[in-house]
Chains A and B, each alone.
Chain A
Amino acid sequence: EPEVTQTPSHQVTQMGQEVILRCVPISNHLYFYWYRQILGQKVEFLVSFYNNEISEKSEIFDDQFSVERPDGSNFTLKIRSTKLEDSAMYFCASSEAPGQGATGTFGSGTRLTVV
């Protein structure tokens, strides 16, 4: 069964450092998403991406965040200057062409720990 692949599975970084989280969405999917989940809390939408541009973003997705699809397969989330409160599990998801039946397939997540 097709999967969304995320790397690394766990990243530890110093506060103020830049991190890049990587995702390989399912190959025929056109919509890509990043979510985060602070430990034990609900899943929060960060951003959706379609046709090489951001479709929607939440208030969490401020200037320190950026997304990119640098080639035909990878989808990345960059956090420019990490803060302690950025520590969370980050999930990438992808879905098929826009349509009501499209459900997101989630990757296994990257646990980001900012120290």
Chain B
Amino acid sequence: ELKVEQNPLFLSMQEGKNYTIYCNYSTTSDRLYWYRQDPGKSLESLFVLLSNGAVKQEGRLMASLDTKARLSTLHITAAVHDLSATYFCAVAPSGTYKYIFGTGTRLKVLA
């Protein structure tokens, strides 16, 4: 059974600092997604990563995928308060659309 683990679970960081969230998964997948969720809100799609070595960037967020290591990272550059949210990675095993979500990383950016 596919397992998806994120770390850290909680992250409190100062504005202007950099940090990385990690997403490990346990079986072969050809698609990895990152979502953002604000408190009490729905999930907003951030990135989809499809191949080994894929890197996507949007603003202060950059996501990468290493399929050999079964690892994705979400890197935050020069954090700002507006990035405070919970970030989820989600993986679908090859050949399925059964997205399995990670545990989530609750990010709080302190002014």
Contacts and interface: CB of A to CB of B under 8 A. Distances in A.
A43 B43 contact: yes
Contacts of A107: 42
A33 B40 CA distance: 20
A65 to B, nearest CB: 15
Among B48, B97, B100, B102, residue most surrounded by chain A Cβ atoms (within 10 Å): B97
Chain B: interface size category = 20 to 34
A59 to B, nearest CB: 9
A48 B98 contact: yes
Main secondary structure of the interface of B (DSSP, over half): strand
Chain A: interface size category = 20 to 34
Interface in B59-111: 88, 90, 96-104
Contacts of B99: 33, 35, 45, 104
B100 to A, nearest CB: 6
Interface of B: 30-31, 33, 35, 41-45, 48, 50, 88, 90, 96-104
